[in-house]
């Protein structure tokens, strides 16, 4: 246990490029991918079902992908409330006297742990959404039963490429650093 009289140091905001990666995936990529999933659902819903081999599973995967991506955005917004630096605190409150600075540093350390907790959740929701988006696209690319041989070959190659990309995505996921 730490000594309550021991000075507390301000914590770094996130290891390496975690902060930048979190903001890029959750506030740029996730909204674009969720929009793409929703737009694709609209296309499939308005199309003749005979044009697709598996329209139902595709729409299910795309719907859950959109929900997961939007959930990731919401979790990231919650996480972002807990991520701030000493410079930001001084910008909000002016120069900090030592006793008040220690209170803010202790609070920031607790908030940084909360940020990491919410960030891990948003990270998982984002990656589930990306994988399901790939599964939905894969299901849409499968050729309809009545497609020509040439058309079917091209679409099965596309299915293989998307399937490989989804497998690589899932296989290369790692748990974000939980260093303190």
- The 10 Å Cβ neighbour count of residue 150 is 8
Query: What pLDDT score does 84 carry?
Result: 83
* CA-to-CA dists, residue 21 to 27, 71, 168, angstroms: 10, 17, 19
Query: What pLDDT score does 17 carry?
Result: 75
Sign (positive or negative) of CA dihedral 61, 64, 70, 71:
negative
Low-confidence ranges of the chain (pLDDT < 70): 1-7, 13-16, 174-180
Taking each helix axis as running N to C, give the angle between helix 86-93 and helix 98-141, from 0 to 180 degrees, rounded to the nearest 10: 120
Interatomic CA distance for residues 81 and 83, integer angstroms: 6
Query: What pLDDT score does 180 carry?
Result: 43
pTM given for the model: 0.82
């Amino acid at each position: 246990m730490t000594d309550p009289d021991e000075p507390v140091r301000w914590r770094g905001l996130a290891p390496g490029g975690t902060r930048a990666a979190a903001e890029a995936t959750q506030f740029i990529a996730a909204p674009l991918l969720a929009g793409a999933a929703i737009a694709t659902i609209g296309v499939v819903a308005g199309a003749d079902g005979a044009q697709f081999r598996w329209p139902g599973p595709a729409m299910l995967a795309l719907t859950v992908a959109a929900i997961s991506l939007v959930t990731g955005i919401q979790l990231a917004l919650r996480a972002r409330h807990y991520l701030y630096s000493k410079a930001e605190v001084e910008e909000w409150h002016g120069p900090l006297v030592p006793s008040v600075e220690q209170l803010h540093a202790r609070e920031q350390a607790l908030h940084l742990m909360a940020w990491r907790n919410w960030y891990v959740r948003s990270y998982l929701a984002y990656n589930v959404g990306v994988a399901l988006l790939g599964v939905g696209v894969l299901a849409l690319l499968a050729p309809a039963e009545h497609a020509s041989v040439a058309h079917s070959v091209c679409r099965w190659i596309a299915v293989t490429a998307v399937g490989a990309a989804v497998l690589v995505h899932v296989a290369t996921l790692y748990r974000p650093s939980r260093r303190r």
